[in-house]
């Protein structure tokens, strides 16, 4: 099946595969470079990008001879690679808008927790829900975010906090992977919080993760990555390291929650563990920024840990936004993700994430789009499959409504500017 798209006003995020950037993500100044072709065509074969270029070259490069089965006229439209959302908690049992209202009324976190709120509330509800129920609601959310332009996504466990609950979540994610056309990565986050019964017995819960959960996850190949919530009052950097090393023996690479609330050594440990990404980063010391900006060493296979920022969580929690400008100016590689979850970011809308990054974090539109596509793909080790317009990559494309420029997308925040979304060459 061949599809030819013609008269594209601007084809955005055009990159050669195996370009020098593709093996380490876009860092520092590179983030501001977003190559594009004006008045372009694009050819898709069997769901994969086969050729592209300027309209004036369409006839001369023989592309017409491919005899397209279908032709789409994209006059006036921008085509942008689909968003690559590298950090979500999309499987959950129920929303938490009662807590949202309680917070507006001035209730403290402790009071909300005493009323049965927070992560442990989500965990109780998740353990009560059936696998089928969880799958149905997660599938609806996945469809919702794909209509908003997301074409690749990472999904975490972490609301089970029991052997059965965690495995149930990971099995739901496995089914989503099998059924969906989106590229999906699965992360085991058993170390999200301590469940009630282990409040005073941290070692007991870590033993449960290492001895009861991980062997099954390894055997059934239920996850790609392992995550730990490294914060004061949750898991220390030492505990994170111990859990990650155990996960790594089953082939799970670390992808970690660090420095949302405190700087307690999570970044240093994460880099030592060759983490695929270090996520949140609202609270950073100068030393942390220096560590994040260091280029990858050869022992790390040339891959560096992607610094992943989650502006919608900072927005929803009314916390300071992560210092994107400082990170970029120091030469870091940064990605943007939604953190879609019921407690701190009940939205998986990457268009809004890109807007917030520009409005609140002083990122240029080009930087934000790169961070939400190419670097998001890198943060899921999918950079050879999605994240840019390149021959051989999946045809996961956002067709915008007629807009004057790329900058118009984050500028007119909250407005739906997506006309249609294509996943693997098919409109959804």
Structure tokens belonging to residue 118: 């927070």
* Nearest one of 308, 64, 94, 313 to 187, comparing CA atoms: 308
Cβ-Cβ contacts under 8 Å for 198 (sequence gap 6 or more): 204, 205, 208
Minimum separation from the CB atom of position 87 to Zn ion (A): 6
Which span sits near Zn ion by CB under 5 A: 22-30, 136-144, 163-171, 337-345?
Answer: 337-345
d(C-alpha 227, C-alpha 243), whole Å: 9
SS3 427: strand
d(C-alpha 171, C-alpha 164), whole Å: 10
* Nearest one of 17, 14, 9, 6 to 36, comparing CA atoms: 14
Site membership for Zn ion, residue 85 (CB under 5 A): no
- The smaller minimum CB distance to Zn ion, of residues 11 and 145, is found at 145
Which span sits near Zn ion by CB under 5 A: 166-174, 246-254, 334-342, 398-406?
Answer: 334-342
Site membership for Zn ion, residue 339 (CB under 5 A): yes
Binding mask 245-284 for Zn ion (x = CB under 5 A): ----------------------------------------
Inter-CA distances, 119 with 11, 99, 133, 153, 407, Å: 42, 11, 19, 22, 37
Q: In the complex, which residue's CB is closest to Zn ion?
A: 339
Which span sits near Zn ion by CB under 5 A: 116-124, 331-339, 357-365, 385-393?
Answer: 331-339
Which span sits near Zn ion by CB under 5 A: 72-80, 333-341, 380-388, 406-414?
Answer: 333-341
- The smaller minimum CB distance to Zn ion, of residues 280 and 424, is found at 280
Backbone Cα Rg of the chain: 21
Binding mask 43-72 for Zn ion (x = CB under 5 A): ------------------------------
* Nearest one of 255, 295, 301 to 278, comparing CA atoms: 255
Minimum separation from the CB atom of position 230 to Zn ion (A): 12
Site membership for Zn ion, residue 239 (CB under 5 A): no
- The smaller minimum CB distance to Zn ion, of residues 231 and 339, is found at 339
Minimum separation from the CB atom of position 75 to Zn ion (A): 40
- The smaller minimum CB distance to Zn ion, of residues 26 and 314, is found at 314
- The smaller minimum CB distance to Zn ion, of residues 288 and 339, is found at 339
Let me know: does 62 contact 408? Beta carbons within 8 Å: no
Minimum separation from the CB atom of position 156 to Zn ion (A): 7
Residue 116 zone, left/alpha/beta (φ > 0; ψ -120 to 50; rest): left
Inter-CA distances, 366 with 128, 236, 373, 391, Å: 44, 36, 11, 21
d(C-alpha 119, C-alpha 31), whole Å: 35
Residues that contact Zn ion, how many (by CB under 5 A): 1
Minimum separation from the CB atom of position 89 to Zn ion (A): 6
SS3 328: helix
- The smaller minimum CB distance to Zn ion, of residues 317 and 359, is found at 317
Minimum separation from the CB atom of position 191 to Zn ion (A): 12
Residue 418 phi, psi dihedral angles, 5° rounding? -90, 125
Which span sits near Zn ion by CB under 5 A: 141-149, 289-297, 338-346, 362-370?
Answer: 338-346
- The smaller minimum CB distance to Zn ion, of residues 209 and 309, is found at 309
Cβ-Cβ contacts under 8 Å for 367 (sequence gap 6 or more): 31, 32, 324, 328, 357
Burial class (CB in 10 A: 0-12, 13-18, 19+), 346: middle
Structure tokens belonging to residue 31: 């983030």
Contact positions with Zn ion (CB under 5 A) in 89-118: none
Minimum separation from the CB atom of position 223 to Zn ion (A): 15
Q: What is the CA 316 to chain-centroid distance, rounded?
A: 17
- The smaller minimum CB distance to Zn ion, of residues 77 and 157, is found at 157
Minimum separation from the CB atom of position 212 to Zn ion (A): 23
**Pairing label, strands 253-258, 426-427:** unpaired
Minimum separation from the CB atom of position 226 to Zn ion (A): 14
- The smaller minimum CB distance to Zn ion, of residues 5 and 91, is found at 91
- The smaller minimum CB distance to Zn ion, of residues 4 and 256, is found at 256
Binding site for Zn ion (CB under 5 A): 339
């Amino acid at each position: 099946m061949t599809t030819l798209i013609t008269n594209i006003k601007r084809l955005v995020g055009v990159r050669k595969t195996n370009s020098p950037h593709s093996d380490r993500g876009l860092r520092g100044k590179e983030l501001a470079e977003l190559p594009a072709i004006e008045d372009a065509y694009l050819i898709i074969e069997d769901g994969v990008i086969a050729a592209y270029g300027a309209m004036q070259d369409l006839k001369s490069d023989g592309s017409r001879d491919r005899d397209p089965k279908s032709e789409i006229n994209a006059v006036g439209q921008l085509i942008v690679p689909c968003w690559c959302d590298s950090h979500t908690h999309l499987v959950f049992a129920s929303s938490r808008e009662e807590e949202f209202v309680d917070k507006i009324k001035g209730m403290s976190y402790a009071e909300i927790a005493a009323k049965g709120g927070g992560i442990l509330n989500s965990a109780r509800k998740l353990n009560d829900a059936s696998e089928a129920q969880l799958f149905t609601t997660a599938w609806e959310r996945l469809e919702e975010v794909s209509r908003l332009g997301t074409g690749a996504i990472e999904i975490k466990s972490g609301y089970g906090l029991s052997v059965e609950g965690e495995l149930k979540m990971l099995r739901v994610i496995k089914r989503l992977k099998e059924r969906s056309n989106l590229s999906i990565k699965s992360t085991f986050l058993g170390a999200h919080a301590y469940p009630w019964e282990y409040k005073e017995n941290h070692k007991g819960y870590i033993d449960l993760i290492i001895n009861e959960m991980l062997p099954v996850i390894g055997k059934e190949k239920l996850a790609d990555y392992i995550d730990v919530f490294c914060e004061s009052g949750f898991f220390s950097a030492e505990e994170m390291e111990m859990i990650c090393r155990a996960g790594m023996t089953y082939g799970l690479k670390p992808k970690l929650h660090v420095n949302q609330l405190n700087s307690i050594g999570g970044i240093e440990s994460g880099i030592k563990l060759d983490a695929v990404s270090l996520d949140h980063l609202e609270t950073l010391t100068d030393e942390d920024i220096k560590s994040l900006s260091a280029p990858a060493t050869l022992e790390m296979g040339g891959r560096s840990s992607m610094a992943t920022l989650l502006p919608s969580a900072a927005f929803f929690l009314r916390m300071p936004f992560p210092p994107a400008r400082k990170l970029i100016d120091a030469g870091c590689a940064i990605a943007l993700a939604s953190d879609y979850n019921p407690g701190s970011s009940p939205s998986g809308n990457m268009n809004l994430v890109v807007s917030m990054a520009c409005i609140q974090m002083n990122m240029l539109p080009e930087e934000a789009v790169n961070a939400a596509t190419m670097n998001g793909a890198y943060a899921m080790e999918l950079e050879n499959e999605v994240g840019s317009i390149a021959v051989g990559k999946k045809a996961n494309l956002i067709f915008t409504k007629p807009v004057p420029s790329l900058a118009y997308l984050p500028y007119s925040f909250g407005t739906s500017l997506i006309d249609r979304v294509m996943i693997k060459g098919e409109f959804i």
